[in-house]
Amino acid sequence: MRNLTKVFWDTQIKDIDFKKQKDFVIARVLEHGRLADVEWLLKKYRRAAIKKAICQTHNLSEKTANFWSTYFKIPSHKIICLKKPYLKKRKMFWPY
């Protein structure tokens, strides 16, 4: 298995259930992973599961969500963390 300690710096890798927590794993790798980590992710999970996770997660930055939206050809209106109410709320707590 790939060494993902830099991606999951705050979590014990041995405690992650890669099946049950796949949305968490996918979001974390897409947000913080390197190219090799993303390549591993694409082998580990189906594209449909990755696209679904992108649409449902709140854990992607606007920049990252836009990138993966373009890469996977997902309309931005289908991605929760790119919807205006969410972006407005996020900026309220982190205005940078």
Residue 1 within any structural domain of the chain? no
Residue span of the structural domain in which 86 resides: 13-93
Q: What is the pLDDT of residue 9?
A: 83
What is the identity of the amino acid at 49?
A: A
Q: For the whole prediction, is pTM greater than 0.85?
A: no
Residue 2 within any structural domain of the chain? no
Residues 64, 31 contacting (CB under 8 angstroms)? yes
pLDDT for residue 16 is more than 70: yes
How many domains does one find in the chain? 1
Residue 4 within any structural domain of the chain? no
What is the mean pLDDT of the segment spanning 66-85? 90
Residue 26 within any structural domain of the chain? yes
Q: What is the pLDDT of residue 15?
A: 87
Residue 41 within any structural domain of the chain? yes
Residue 79, sorted as left (phi over 0), alpha (psi -120 to 50) or beta, turns out to be beta
pLDDT for residue 27 is more than 70: yes
